[in-house]
Amino acid sequence: MPEIVFEGVEKRYGAVRVLQPLDLTLADGEFTVLVGPSGCGKSTTLRILAGLETLSAGEIYFNGRPISRLDPKDRDIAMVFQDYALYPHMNIAKNMSFALRLQRRPKAEINAKVRQVASMLNIAHLLDRKPGELSGGQRQRVAMGRALVRDAGTFLFDEPLSNLDAKLRAKMRTELAEMRDRIDKNMVYVTHDQVEAMTLGDRIVVMDGGVIQQQGTPKELFEKPVNQFVAGFIGSPTMNFLKGELIEDHGRLFVAGDGYRLALGDGARQRIAATNAREVVVGIRPSSFSSRADAGSAIDLKVVVAEYLGASTVLATRCGSSDVLVELSSEELPRVGDRVSYAVKSEAIFVFDAKSGKTL
Amino acid sequence: MQAANSHRLTPYLFLAPAGLVLAVALLYPIGYMVYASFLDWNPSQKINEAAFVGLRNYANLLVDPAFRESLWVTIKFASVVVSLEMLLGVGLALLLDRKLRGMTLLRTLFILPMMIAPIVVGLMWRYMYHPTVGTFNRALKGLGLPPVEWLSDSNWALVSIIIADIWQWTPFIFILALAALQSLPKSAMEAARIDGATGWQQILHIKLPLMMPVLIVTCLLRLIDAFKVLEVVLVLTNGGPGLSTEILSLRIARTASEFRELGKAAAMSNYLLLFLMVLTLAMFFYSKATERRAARLRAEAEGAH
Ligand SMILES: Nc1ncnc2c1ncn2[C@@H]1O[C@H](COP(=O)(O)OP(=O)(O)OP(=O)(O)O)[C@@H](O)[C@H]1O
Ligand SMILES: [Mg+2]
């Protein structure tokens, strides 16, 4: 359960730099989630932490002790691999107990531990099978089980739920969330599913192109994204982005574009005054629209499609030439083809610099 | 109706010449040999003049001390040679399975002995084993040690041919083991490192078990080959001194040409053939059985999912 610190960690394959110098602190007992699109360097970060990949520059510290030269076995970690990495010649029980057997733990203890984890993962009936005789989802659970039977200080998960069906995934997510609260271990969890990230992470690290875009609690990332990439990545359905321009009018600040004109609050005005940006991108979350006209400045939309999801409905609408998603409770639905006017609170409007993508 | 029949027969018609060639080339000699093994036949007779003696050749062989000695030498030779070659070949492969500069060149050098014709290997080693001018005895002399009668001492002769065979055939096992090693799933090895396995434990618990199917086949191929070894022994010792290196194929050749007992030689060949067939069938059934087991369990897994 060490505190893990990445200091200027960098990874190059030949001339290609897949991780830019990376600084990151994972507090003791924290559940950290690395999210980002495919190829952004999540697995690489995890593999460097595990010791399977050498780093090109920088250092990693466990409780202040540099560990980048240690063998994986000396780092006290357990890991779930993205491609399972099960031992093809061992049955499931042997796969799961391999680490414990190497540690020469008593047989009874090993068996008990394996049974317990296997029944938690619903694979107790598969213990005599070989990995080649399992389905993808079953293999993934075995990979998970092999890590969970270990008593390691740090657990690394590389997309451990990606191959499960929706129901099983939700169940495992709950199990993991429970486990996170129950055991006091460092967990580093890689996923590209932002729902998993939001529900599991004490802290989320959003990566893109080998660079950490932002890190913080799920709430921080949702409410205060530092740039357009993070804003677009966190939250479901994804945030709407509209091109626009800043306009001062009678001492008030507006942002206007094709088919809309929205008033910004005073806080935003002060922040934006400090920059001299003109061209901006406006971000509005689908859930920020309200059908009550008095709830903020209004935006006119034309309904194109309505996706009924039960309690809520997602409307695909058009604002000028841009698409806008609106999430409403299913009671107050307009019809397809209607022109509607929804209000948006000024606090719910994000403004990004069109060039740098930074939040203004 | 007849047209349909002839249509169905067409493919066989086209296959017939190939089938015929196969039958003649493969079955005829074997059939000939089996038939010959029931005869008391010497080379000056035509085959239809030879007396039919039933299984007498086989029965006689079982109590023939020279044959039994020869069989014993062959078994000794084959088992020692194959176990040492497996040990060395697999060990070298484990050692050289890494990305270092110059490794490709080294690997190429390693497999050179395999590419030399066995007769040449025999001549080469005969020179090196030469009691006075040979490389080994000169080296021993240089070290102040007494010379060794490599080929003329009945205790050393078998050792000498074993050394030559190991030199020639270890590379075969080396390249097959290396290929097996390099096709192992990388991620399983990584998982083992994470699970805390040391280098030895990775070899013992992960690499060797995963290489096992290839190693078993390699071992059987080598075993079959070792039972039929001829040229190197012929050139080095010609079976001597005494019967100390008279391996089976040499004995068969001598029985046919020197002792002029073709029937007996054929019976010996058949014993060898039978033995190798048992080995091959064992290998075949082993792989079939494992395949079938895997398929069955996979089907069950799919059903249970
Ligand atoms: N051995 C390698 N040689 C060269 N480039 C590599 C190598 N391994 C990974 N990369 C590159 O490094 C980048 C990061 O890869 P990584 O596996 O960390 O992505 P990821 O974020 O885990 O993606 P995914 O979500 O698809 O698993 C990718 O662009 C990949 O092409
Ligand atoms: Mg990955």
Instruction: Kindly state whether residue A341 falls inside one of the protein's structural domains.
Output: yes
Q: Which residue, chain included where needed, has tokens 């990004």?
A: A352
Alpha helices (H) along A133-165: 136-148
Measured between alpha carbons, how far is residue A168 from residues A104, A123, A140, A147, A196 in Å?
33, 12, 11, 18, 13
Across chain A, mean pLDDT equals: 89
The 3-state DSSP class for residue A348 equals: helix
Same domain, A105 and A251: no
Could A87 and B192 be called an inter-chain contact, meaning their C-beta atoms sit closer than 8 Å?
yes
Same domain, A217 and A253: no
Chain B residues close to A78, C-beta within 8 Å: 194-195
Entry field: residues in chain A: 360
Same domain, A56 and A200: yes
- Mark which residues 242-261 of A lie under 8 Å from B by CB: none
Same domain, A131 and A80: yes
Put simply, whether B49 touches A (Cβ < 8 Å) is: no
Q: Domain range for residue A24?
A: 4-227
Instruction: Kindly state whether residue B48 falls inside one of the protein's structural domains.
Output: no
Q: Which of A194, A227, A260 is the last residue of a domain?
A: A227
For residue A1, the model assigns a pLDDT of 67
Residue closest by Cα to atom 9 of ligand 1: A44
Same domain, A180 and A73: yes
CA distance B169 to B166: 5
From the DSSP assignment, how many helices (H) and strands (E) are in chain A?
Answer: 9, 20
The 3-state DSSP class for residue A140 equals: helix
Same domain, A185 and A45: yes
Instruction: Kindly state whether residue B171 falls inside one of the protein's structural domains.
Output: yes
For residue B300, the model assigns a pLDDT of 65
What is the residue type of A282? V
Q: Domain range for residue B202?
A: 63-304
CA distance A63 to A28: 9
- Residue A20 predicted with pLDDT over 70: yes
For residue A132, the model assigns a pLDDT of 87
Q: Distance from B184 to chain A by nearest Cα, in Å?
A: 10
For residue A59, the model assigns a pLDDT of 93
For residue A331, the model assigns a pLDDT of 80
CA distance A185 to A154: 6
Residue B186 C-alpha from the chain's centroid: 31
Same domain, A152 and A291: no
Same domain, A215 and A247: no
Q: Residue A272 in contact with residue A355, Cβ under 8 Å?
A: no
Instruction: Kindly state whether residue A234 falls inside one of the protein's structural domains.
Output: no
Task: Encode pLDDT of A232-259 as tens digits.
Answer: 999 888 999 999 988 888 878 888 888 8
Which residue would you say has higher pLDDT here, B235 or A99?
A99
Q: Distance from B189 to chain A by nearest Cα, in Å?
A: 8
Task: Encode pLDDT of A75-91 as tens digits.
Answer: 999 999 988 999 999 99
Helix axes B154-182, B118-128, angle to 10 degrees: 130
Put simply, whether B302 touches A (Cβ < 8 Å) is: yes
Q: Which of A180, A199, A227 is the last residue of a domain?
A: A227
Task: Encode pLDDT of A222-237 as tens digits.
Answer: 999 999 999 999 988 8
Comparing alpha-carbon positions, the chain B residue that sits nearest to A128 is B297
Facing B187 at nearest CB: one of A71, A77, A83: A83
Domains contained in chain A, number: 2
DSSP codes joined into one string, chain B: -HHHHHHHHHHHHHHHHHHHHHIIIIIHHHHHHHHHTTEE--TTS-GGGSEE-TTHHHHHHHH-HHHHHHHHHHHHHHHHHHHHHHHHHHHHHHHH-S--TTHHHHHHHHTGGGGS-HHHHHHHHHHHT-TTTSHHHHHHHHTTPPP--TTTSHHHHHHHHHHHHHHHHHHHHHHHHHHHHHTS-HHHHHHHHHTT--HHHHIIIIIHHHHHHHHHHHHHHHHHHHHT--HHHHHHTTT-STTTT--HHHHHHHHHHTS--HHHHHHHHHHHHHHHHHHHHHHHHHHHHHHHHHHHHHHHHHHH-
Facing B188 at nearest CB: one of A85, A103, A132: A85
User: Which CATH number goes with the domain that contains B129?
Assistant: 1.10.3720.10
Q: Which of A176, A206, A227 is the last residue of a domain?
A: A227
User: Which CATH number goes with the domain that contains A51?
Assistant: 3.40.50.300
Instruction: Kindly state whether residue B82 falls inside one of the protein's structural domains.
Output: yes
Which residue would you say has higher pLDDT here, B302 or A196?
A196
Domains contained in chain B, number: 1
Q: Residue A197 in contact with residue A205, Cβ under 8 Å?
A: no
Same domain, A26 and A166: yes
For residue A228, the model assigns a pLDDT of 93
Chain B residues close to A154, C-beta within 8 Å: none
Measured between alpha carbons, how far is residue A306 from residues A288, A310, A339, A341 in Å?
17, 12, 13, 16
pLDDT along chain B (305 residues), means of 10: 69 87 87 85 78 82 86 91 95 86 81 86 88 86 85 86 91 91 90 92 92 88 88 82 83 84 86 88 83 72 54
For residue B101, the model assigns a pLDDT of 78
Calculate the CA dihedral of residues A224, A170, A121, A153 and round it to 10 degrees. 0
- Return the sign of the alpha-carbon dihedral for residues A264, A267, A270, A275: negative
**Mean pLDDT to the nearest integer, A328-346:** 86
**Mean pLDDT to the nearest integer, A18-39:** 91
User: Whose CA is closest to A317, among A255, A260, A254?
Assistant: A260
Could A98 and B201 be called an inter-chain contact, meaning their C-beta atoms sit closer than 8 Å?
no
The CA A208 to ligand 2 mean position distance, Å, reads 13
Same domain, A180 and A308: no
* Interface confidence (ipTM) of the complex: 0.82
For residue B137, the model assigns a pLDDT of 85
DSSP codes joined into one string, B104-138: HHHHHHHTGGGGS-HHHHHHHHHHHT-TTTSHHHH
**Mean pLDDT to the nearest integer, A31-57:** 92
What does the DSSP 8-state code read for residue A161?
A: T
Could A77 and B297 be called an inter-chain contact, meaning their C-beta atoms sit closer than 8 Å?
no
pLDDT band of residue A212 (cuts 50, 70, 90) is very high
pTM of the model: 0.80
Q: Which residue, chain included where needed, has tokens 């030949």?
A: A14
For residue B4, the model assigns a pLDDT of 61
User: Which CATH number goes with the domain that contains A278?
Assistant: 2.40.50.140
What does the DSSP 8-state code read for residue A75?
A: S
Query: A237 preceded by cis ω (within 30°)?
Result: yes
- Mark which residues 106-125 of A lie under 8 Å from B by CB: 125
Looking at chain A, the whole-number percentage of residues with pLDDT higher than 70 is 99
Same domain, A77 and A186: yes
Q: Residue A244 in contact with residue A280, Cβ under 8 Å?
A: yes
Could A84 and B187 be called an inter-chain contact, meaning their C-beta atoms sit closer than 8 Å?
yes
CA distance B164 to A238: 73
For residue B114, the model assigns a pLDDT of 84
Same domain, A38 and A169: yes
Q: Residue A164 in contact with residue A4, Cβ under 8 Å?
A: no
Q: Which residues contact A95 (CB under 8 A, 6 or more apart)?
A: A86, A87, A131, A142, A146
Q: Residue A331 in contact with residue A350, Cβ under 8 Å?
A: no
